[in-house]
Amino acid sequence: MTDAVADTAIQETQHRSLWGDVWVQYRSHTGAMIGTVIFVAICLLVLLGPIFYDVDPNFTNVRDRNAPMSWAYPMGSDNLGRDMFAAILHGGRISLAVGLTAMLLSLFVGTFIGLLAGYFKWLDGPLMRLTDLFLALPLLPLLLVVVMLFRDVLRPIFGPELGIFLLIVFLIGITSWMQTARIVRGDVLALKEREFVLAARSIGTPPRRIIMRHLMPNILSPIMVSATLGVANAIITESALSFLGLGFPSDVPTWGRLLFDGKDFLTLTPARVIWPGLMISLTVLSVNFMGDGLRDALDPRIRGR
Amino acid sequence: MRLTHLLGTAVVLALGASAAMAERGADGQLNIIYWQAPSTMNPFLSGGTKEVEAASMVLEPLASYDQDGNIVPRLVEQLPTVENGGVAADLTSITWKIKPGILWSDGTPFTANDAVFTWQYCTHPEGGCSQSSYFDGVTSVEAVDDLTVKVIFAEPKPYPYTAFAGSESPVLQAAQFADCLGAKAPECTDANFGPIGTGPFVVTDFKPNDVISLEANPNYREADKPAFGSVLFKGGGDAASAARSVLETGEFDYAWNLQIEPEILTQMEAAGKGSVVVSFQTSVERLHLNQTNADSGLSAEERSVYNDGNNPHPFLTDPEVGKALSMAIDRELLVEVGYGKTGQVTCNVLPAPELYASTANDGCKTQDLEGAKAVLDAAGWVPGGDGVREKDGVRLSVLYQTSTNSVRQGTQALIKQWWNELGVEVELRNIDASVFFGGDPASPDTFQKFYADIEMYTNNFSGADPEAYMANWRCSEIPGPGTQWQGSNIQRFCKPEYDALVDEMAKTADLATRGELAKAMNDMIIQEYSIIPLIHRGGTSAHANTLGGVKMTDWDSELWNIADWHRVE
């Protein structure tokens, strides 16, 4: 009986790994699979699209303004005759780049603070009060002030587009790490009293190792989930900023800005609003489904079933 | 017995009340939307049209301009002229006879001393009054008696209706602003937000950059006016939603300054709730080319500060560059795409009236990209490795800013494309209109601070005489930290010859000569390329079909006759 169990365990470790199990579970989540396919398609479209469809999104061709969808203008043209499809492709690069970078930043900050607060009791109070402070900050007024104060400082160093990119990524990252930090802290608090952590501590493992070897792998699932949610959040915040006419200069298309510019033309050329709106919604939705699937896949209790 | 008596009194009171109701305030509330929100109700502290217009419901000048540009008496019995003795035969003074019985909204009488005080207020050396050009050439303002104001000029003044004429030069109440002279002017928040006026309405609540609530002035001089009992003056939003709220949804009765793509405006008007009114006067959408260095590396004391000419722009002071930038622009196309029937091509910063409109610059009406390239080549600006022209290590790279408005961003995109073709690198920036025109000295993004190389907006002048307007570009009108960034010489243009022409116009009586002088000044500004005019814009507003009495004008505040506005079925 015991032999049999041991045998299967050995066989299983030969054929199955943790990530293999996660992948099997993830594949069984239909929503996550659809989300992944759509997200990968969007990424490929905006990354490779401009190579094959090399139209300058800022080129104005006034004779063809407000054009409907056609072979020459797959998504129509705006009131200056700029090609909407090219703008969507170029805008997607920026929107996705902002989303992913800001997510990474907020993930890093959130995990770091959450781990410290959860593991070291004396840091818990100060760090959690700092988290509360950031949670209480109203995002948009803060962004307004910071963009106004630092735009001119960053412009000569990084140039107008990269400067504002860094600023926006930094701002979104720095204002969205709090949820991650709280989740991570909670999990760490529970985990660090578990027997395997106590055992590690009793043989003199330094805190750095306990955190990296024993705690991190166990809190990966909530981190992954908040990462996917973070991408969606960052894309929406960037859209909101562009929608308010802040953020990137008016000749840098982003999905949010295209939506903003198109809203006056809603009744005349609805394509100008529908396409960027659709791209934002699809991206956010697909990323959310991916997060949902990932959570199920990474949770060992669900995975077993 | 007593009860009957009381009832009788009540009935009489009710009747009396309803009789009064039938006149002033009978039409309920008037809803006005200005998509740029006013930041103050004191027009002397802001060069912005929105503040001047909002204030014109409360503060009044002695004389106004009607919809045809004629000057009409307002707080005076008749217009002073040489014929009726109001203007001295040698043209060195003008005497205004105030209508007797005019009261301020707080019930105190309006007197000549208030006008004298207004002159002192606006010409205070530390004040930085935005409208001080209206007092150019005025040596003193005297109260001959309670109802007689005498304005004395240093030189014969052929067009004496500058001080106290038009909505940009109204009269303030001396009692209210007595402690607000000079540098203290911006600190008098209560007075600046709720000035006591003689106009048809009184401010009840002022939220800066948001909403102004006003009610009918109980002491207004005409007992049956205004027809509206209260005004809700909403600021903020954008031009398209303002237009929609009048033309399509009918939430508001009046919307101002509808700079919207022509195709959208036409479509909205088709909804049939309101109508668009256009009036061509003196508004010109123009590019201002910063004549001072706006490098962000400079300190606050230097950036975009004139410094007596010691801080010149690295290349925009070169007229050849400005000339090439102007030649590269296809103004016809800008009109077609962004303005439709509400704009015309212009090459002058002073496009009207006829007498003052120069024809010397009309060559700009056709685009000449090749010619523009040749101009730059000849001036030594040659394309560098990345295609951007340079000379002596200076690259032709400009930061081009304007307010957030989709027509303006469209214009920016088109102009950027032409300038790029020319070999000029262009960075675009757009700033929320409430901030850009807000005049806040602490904000880096106002049009007065001009922390950019080129900026685009529209300006105009009220009244039919361009003397005060042309005086805007005197050296002394340059904004800077010393004047809390007030002053109307936005592009920091300074030329002694120009100042001499301004002075000469101030003492020239003959109308034809004045026309020549105005043209000469216009040509000097245009040919130095410190201003590149683009489009002669009609004032475009919309009013609900249920609103009567609107006499759209660009010569004065659009709300100049708001006392006569009324509800129609």
Q: What is the pLDDT of residues B253-284, one digit of tens each?
A: 999 988 888 888 888 989 889 999 988 888 89
pLDDT of residue B2: 47
Contact B451 A152 (CB under 8 A): yes
Q: Which residues are registered as beta bridge partners of B255? A: B33, B542
pLDDT of residue A125: 92
Cβ-Cβ contacts under 8 Å, B414 against chain A? 60, 62, 80
Note whether residue B396 is domain-resident.
yes
Per cent of chain B over pLDDT 90 is: 43
pLDDT of residue A244: 66
Residues A173, A105: Cα–Cα separation, whole Å: 5
Residues B78, B42: Cα–Cα separation, whole Å: 26
pLDDT above 50 (res B16): no
Domain residue limits at B531: 280-538
Q: Does A147 touch chain B (CB under 8 A)?
A: no
Q: How confident is the model at residue A297 (pLDDT cuts 50, 70, 90)?
A: confident
Note whether residue B496 is domain-resident.
yes
pLDDT digits (tens, 9 = 90+) for A137-188: 887 788 778 877 887 778 778 877 788 888 888 888 888 899 899 999 999 9
User: Span B208-226, mean pLDDT?
Assistant: 90
pLDDT above 90 (res B307): no
Contact A153 B263 (CB under 8 A): no
| Shortest alpha-carbon distance between residue B450 and chain A (Å) | 13
Note whether residue B425 is domain-resident.
yes
pLDDT above 90 (res A293): no
Residue in the block written with tokens 């005498």? B150
pLDDT of residue B231: 94
Note whether residue A13 is domain-resident.
no
| Candidate from A189-198, B20-29, B82-91, B215-224 with smallest mean pLDDT | B20-29
Note whether residue A162 is domain-resident.
yes
Q: Strands B201-206 and B148-153: what pairing?
A: unpaired
What secondary structure does DSSP assign to B519-552, as a single string? HHHHHHHHHTTSEEEEEEEEEEEEEETTEE----
Count of structural domains, chain A? 1
User: Span A50-75, mean pLDDT?
Assistant: 85
Q: Does B298 touch chain A (CB under 8 A)?
A: no
pLDDT above 90 (res A292): no
Residues B408, B268: Cα–Cα separation, whole Å: 20
pLDDT above 80 (res A10): no
Residues B535, B407: Cα–Cα separation, whole Å: 12
Q: Which residues are registered as beta bridge partners of B72? A: B64
pLDDT of residue B374: 92
pLDDT of residue A14: 57
CATH of the domain at A228: 1.10.3720.10
pLDDT above 70 (res B14): no
User: Which residue among B263, B297, B333 sits closest to A62, beta carbon to beta carbon?
Assistant: B333
Cβ-Cβ contacts under 8 Å, A67 against chain B? none
Q: How confident is the model at residue B532 (pLDDT cuts 50, 70, 90)?
A: very high
B170: nearest Cα among B110, B240, B233: B110
Q: Among A58, A59, A79, which would you mutate to test the B interface (most chain B Cβ atoms within 10 Å of its Cβ)?
A: A79
pLDDT above 70 (res B340): yes
Alpha helices in B397-495 (DSSP H): 406-422, 433-436, 467-470
Cβ-Cβ contacts under 8 Å, A157 against chain B? none
Q: How confident is the model at residue A303 (pLDDT cuts 50, 70, 90)?
A: low
Instruction: Give, as one character, the DSSP assignment of residue B173.
Output: -
Note whether residue B431 is domain-resident.
yes
What secondary structure does DSSP assign to B236-287, as a single string? -S-HHHHHHHHHTS-S-SEE------HHHHHHHHTTSSEEEEEEEEEEEEEE
Note whether residue B191 is domain-resident.
no
pLDDT above 70 (res B194): yes
**Amino acid residing at A7:** D
Note whether residue B188 is domain-resident.
no
- Rounded mean pLDDT of chain A? 84
pLDDT digits (tens, 9 = 90+) for B133-154: 888 889 999 999 999 999 999 8
A229: nearest Cα among A169, A293, A275: A293
User: Span B369-389, mean pLDDT?
Assistant: 90
Residues A34, A30: Cα–Cα separation, whole Å: 6
**Amino acid residing at A64:** D
Domain residue limits at A123: 18-53+75-303
pLDDT above 90 (res A265): no
pLDDT above 60 (res A12): no
Q: Among B265, B402, B409, B451, which would you mutate to test the A interface (most chain A Cβ atoms within 10 Å of its Cβ)?
A: B409
Note whether residue A58 is domain-resident.
no
User: Span B515-525, mean pLDDT?
Assistant: 91
Query: Strand, coil or helix: what is A207?
Result: helix
**Amino acid residing at B171:** V
pLDDT digits (tens, 9 = 90+) for A278-291: 998 899 889 888 88
Q: How many CB atoms lie within 10 A of CB A171?
A: 22
Cα atoms in the 13 Å half-sphere on the side-chain side of A284: 17
pLDDT of residue B377: 92
pLDDT above 60 (res A5): no
Residues B83, B67: Cα–Cα separation, whole Å: 24
Assembly ipTM: 0.76
User: Which residue among B264, B409, B451 sits closest to A268, beta carbon to beta carbon?
Assistant: B264
List, in order, residues 6 or more apart from B120 with CB less than 8 Å away.
B141, B181
Q: What is the CA radius of gyration of chain A?
A: 23
Contact B444 A148 (CB under 8 A): yes
pLDDT of residue B7: 44
Residues A19, A25: Cα–Cα separation, whole Å: 10
The answer to whether the peptide bond before residue B125 is cis (omega within 30 degrees of 0) is no
Count of structural domains, chain B? 1
Query: Strand, coil or helix: what is B84?
Result: coil
Phi, psi of B379 (to 5 degrees): -85, 0
Note whether residue A1 is domain-resident.
no
Alpha helices in chain A (DSSP H): 2-15, 18-27, 30-52, 84-119, 121-136, 139-158, 160-174, 178-191, 195-202, 207-209, 220-243, 255-262, 271-298, 300-303
Q: Which residues are registered as beta bridge partners of B454? A: B289, B400
Note whether residue B10 is domain-resident.
no
Cβ-Cβ contacts under 8 Å, B296 against chain A? 152-153, 155-156
User: Span B503-531, mean pLDDT?
Assistant: 88
Residues B137-171, buried b or exposed e (16+ Cβ, 10 A)? bbeebebeeebbbbbbbeebbbbbbbbbbbbbbbb
pLDDT of residue B462: 66
CATH of the domain at B462: 3.10.105.10
Q: Does A7 touch chain B (CB under 8 A)?
A: no
Q: Strands B201-206 and B211-216: what pairing?
A: antiparallel
Instruction: Give, as one character, the DSSP assignment of residue B152.
Output: E
Helix (H) or strand (E) holding B16: helix B2-21
pLDDT of residue B511: 79
Q: How many CB atoms lie within 10 A of CB A300?
A: 13
Note whether residue A261 is domain-resident.
yes
| Shortest alpha-carbon distance between residue A142 and chain B (Å) | 15
Contact B428 A251 (CB under 8 A): yes
| Candidate from B50-54, B110-114, B437-441 with smallest mean pLDDT | B437-441
User: Span A193-214, mean pLDDT?
Assistant: 89
| Candidate from A36-40, A250-254, B331-335 with smallest mean pLDDT | A250-254
pLDDT above 70 (res A99): yes
Cβ-Cβ contacts under 8 Å, B444 against chain A? 148, 152
Q: How many CB atoms lie within 10 A of CB B78?
A: 12
pLDDT digits (tens, 9 = 90+) for B445-479: 889 989 999 999 998 876 677 888 888 899 988 98
User: Span B298-327, mean pLDDT?
Assistant: 88
List, in order, residues 6 or more apart from B568 with CB less than 8 Å away.
B545, B546, B547, B548
Q: Determine if residue B385 is left, alpha or beta; phi over 0 gives left, psi from -120 to 50 gives alpha, anything else beta.
A: alpha
Q: How confident is the model at residue B301 (pLDDT cuts 50, 70, 90)?
A: confident
pLDDT of residue A239: 76
Contact B413 A261 (CB under 8 A): no
Q: How many CB atoms lie within 10 A of CB B375?
A: 22
What secondary structure does DSSP assign to A45-74, as a single string? HHHHHHHHS---TT---GGGTT--S-SSST
Phi, psi of A12 (to 5 degrees): -65, -40
Taking a C-beta distance cutoff of 8 angstroms, is the pair B264, B238 a contact? no
Name the residue with higher pLDDT: B69 or B53. Answer: B53
What secondary structure does DSSP assign to B353-384, as a single string? SGGG---TTGGGGS--HHHHHHHHHHTT-EE-
Q: How confident is the model at residue B19 (pLDDT cuts 50, 70, 90)?
A: very low
- Rounded mean pLDDT of chain B? 87
Taking a C-beta distance cutoff of 8 angstroms, is the pair B193, B214 a contact? no
